[in-house]
Amino acid sequence: MPNFLHSQHHLRLLRLSKCNIGGDFPNWLLENNPKLGEVYLDGNAFTGSLQLPLLPNLKAFDISNNKIRGQLPANIGSIFPNLVISTMSSNMLEGLLPSSFADMKNLECLDLSYNKLKGELLIGLAREGSKLFLLRLSNNMLKGEIFPVSTNINNFQYLYLDGNNFSGPIPQTLSTAPLCTLDLSYNNLSGNIPSWLGLEVLDISENNLVGVIPSCFSSFRDLKHVYLSKNKLQGEFNMFSNSDLRVLDLGDNNFSGSIPKWLGSFGITTLLLKGNHLQGTIPTELCHASDLRIMDLSHNNLSGPIPRCFGNIMQQEGVIVAYPYSPSFGYSVFQTFGGDAEIELSGHIPKELSSLTQIRALNLSHNHITGTILSAFSKLLNIESLDLSYNNLTGSIPTQLLDLTTLAVFSVAHNNLTGMTPQRIAQFGTFNESSYEGNPFLCGPPLLTSCSEPKEIPKSPLEPECCEDDTGFLDIESFYISFLVAFANVVLVTVVVLWVNPYWKNVWFYYVEYYMYSCYYFFASKM
């Protein structure tokens, strides 16, 4: 801390944000300046604990993104009686939430996220007449039910309780609050989704919610961002026929049915349906969703070809990341098809995908895709990950792919590729055997198979039989002629032998007569 601050006693505003100042938190600085109205010490490296003095004029207090430890003062409500905005997130604060927070009559915004606070949620924060409209307690160790007491909550507009250990159902008491954003994700909540959750932003992912989505969701015109992933929800989701919907994340549930065609008529930007039981084909109507930037359809039971028109809607600048490599959605755009053996997308790779010049990652793995690898993929000069593994691709690996200097992940494993692996230069010099394994007629380093010994090149399973070299084999017409000639020769020799040799003729007729009578008595005994 600068030395001249020790002699200051009449400061009204203190702003030392993002200065990387270390040492113990300067409690003395607050004590020396009792008239402070705003304090911004966020983004530093302060340690130690809080020993806060009385500051009756303080309205804004921001000490976020430091390394402050210990408990919050139990009397913080009387120390800062007129506080309006308090941000103490991303520290190492621990212990219980002081009940005196409820005594702050003017408190509007309270952010204590990313700390180590424990205990239960303060019911006093939702008291009648409270001005607290933003409460963020994300990523702590809080537990118990969420405002279990039956009361009308009419203050919260933005409520973030994600990343804790809250249990029980989503409380009905929140239905009276004028909520715009509700984030209850990453908890242990159970029960059904309430029918009143018609918010602008709703995130209840990573819980234990069950049942179906309420049908009344279709009447909520304010719904824009919906995150329901990683629960135990089921049924179909046709209730989201809302023209204002921008983000829909239903991944890792038990939803069934087909992908609704109406999704293409909305201004949806993010569509995440990964890990369900969806069936049928990918509707071409999705190509009309001109604002679509993020899409993940993997881990379903989809079938059919990849719509070629997807190449037209994804030619937007941005970062396109395949889901298996980056579960973070921040500043990312996804273009993912496939993911495991349950996906059955088939057909050739659409050439339109080679026009996605801004794509960063493309994952078409674990499908039934046939044909060859597009040499035009060399145009994807920004791509960092290309996964074509576990398909039925044939032909050689195009040498043009050596132009992809940004490629960090590459896999064509478990296909029917032939020929030599690409030269081990530039990025391709970093790929190991796992990138090429499972192609028995592929040779060259890093594989152990040498290209010096000639090998029989496998025929594509889709090639017609007439294209095969049939040298040394009889065609079907020659086979029939040969068979008839041989059969006629056998009959002729038999007749000649019986005619010339009376003994064999008598033996022949004896056995014929014997088997005739045997058959007659057999059938007669069964009548």
> What are the C-alpha distances in Å from 53 to residues 27, 75, 78, 282?
8, 10, 10, 63
**Residues 369 and 395: beta-carbon distance below 8 Å:** no
Q: What is the pLDDT of residue 294?
A: 79
Taking residues 277-299, report their average pLDDT.
83
Closest CA to 389 of 411, 408, 422, 421: 411
Q: Could you write out the three-class secondary structure of 117-154?
A: EEEECCHHHHCCCCCCCEEECCCCEEEECCCCCCCCCC
**Residues 52 and 30: beta-carbon distance below 8 Å:** yes
Q: What is the pLDDT of residue 343?
A: 38
Q: What is the pLDDT of residue 513?
A: 67
Q: What is the pLDDT of residue 454?
A: 56
Rg over alpha carbons for the chain, rounded to the nearest Å, is 37
- Does residue 199 register a pLDDT over 90? no
Report the range of poorest mean pLDDT among 100-109, 299-308, 369-378, 391-400: 299-308
Number of Cβ atoms within 10 Å of the Cβ of 41: 25
Rounded-to-integer distance, Cα 286 and Cα 292, Å = 9
3-state secondary structure of 324: helix
Q: What is the pLDDT of residue 306?
A: 72
Closest CA to 329 of 223, 405, 251, 410: 251
Return contacts of 164-173, CB within 8 angstroms, 24+ apart.
164/137, 164/138, 164/139, 164/140, 165/141, 166/121, 166/142, 167/143, 168/144, 170/146, 170/194, 170/197, 170/204, 171/145, 171/146, 171/147, 172/196, 173/126, 173/147, 173/148, 173/149
**Residues 245 and 228: beta-carbon distance below 8 Å:** no
Q: What is the pLDDT of residue 163?
A: 96
Q: Which residue is it, tokens 């040298």?
A: 471
Q: What is the pLDDT of residue 319?
A: 30
With cut-offs at 50, 70 and 90, classify the pLDDT of residue 346.
Answer: low
Question: pLDDT tens digits, residue range 417-443?
Answer: 999 999 888 889 899 999 999 999 999
Q: Considering the chain, what is the average pLDDT of its residues?
A: 82
With cut-offs at 50, 70 and 90, classify the pLDDT of residue 397.
Answer: very high
> What percent of the chain clears pLDDT 70, i.e. is strictly above it?
80
Taking residues 237-247, report their average pLDDT.
74
Q: What is the pLDDT of residue 449?
A: 85
> What are the C-alpha distances in Å from 431 to residues 242, 303, 434?
46, 31, 8
Question: Which token pair is 364?
Answer: 């078409």
H or E element, residue 304: strand 301-305
| ∠ CA 104-60-16, rounded to 5° | 150
**Residues 288 and 263: beta-carbon distance below 8 Å:** no
| CATH 2.60.40.3620, applies to 256-462 | no
Taking residues 11-40, report their average pLDDT.
94
Q: Which residue is it, tokens 């402070």?
A: 36
3-state secondary structure of 345: strand
- Does residue 157 register a pLDDT over 90? yes
Q: What is the pLDDT of residue 524?
A: 62
Put simply, whether the predicted model's pTM sits higher than 0.85 gets the answer no
Question: pLDDT tens digits, residue range 492-524?
Answer: 777 776 666 676 667 666 666 666 666 766 666
Rounded-to-integer distance, Cα 387 and Cα 340, Å = 12
- Does residue 458 register a pLDDT over 90? no
Q: What is the pLDDT of residue 313?
A: 55
Q: What is the pLDDT of residue 3?
A: 87
Helix, strand, coil share (%) of the chain residues, nearest 5: 25, 20, 55
Judged by phi (left if over 0) then psi (alpha if -120 to 50, else beta), residue 8 lies in beta
- Does residue 324 register a pLDDT over 60? no
Q: Which residue is it, tokens 């490629």?
A: 407
Phi and psi at 409, nearest 5°, equal -130, 130
Rounded-to-integer distance, Cα 301 and Cα 281, Å = 9
Rounded-to-integer distance, Cα 343 and Cα 321, Å = 19
> What percent of the chain clears pLDDT 90, i.e. is strictly above it?
44
List of residues 6+ apart from 502 with CB closer than 8 A: none
Q: CA 113, 114, 115, 118 torsion: positive or negative?
A: positive
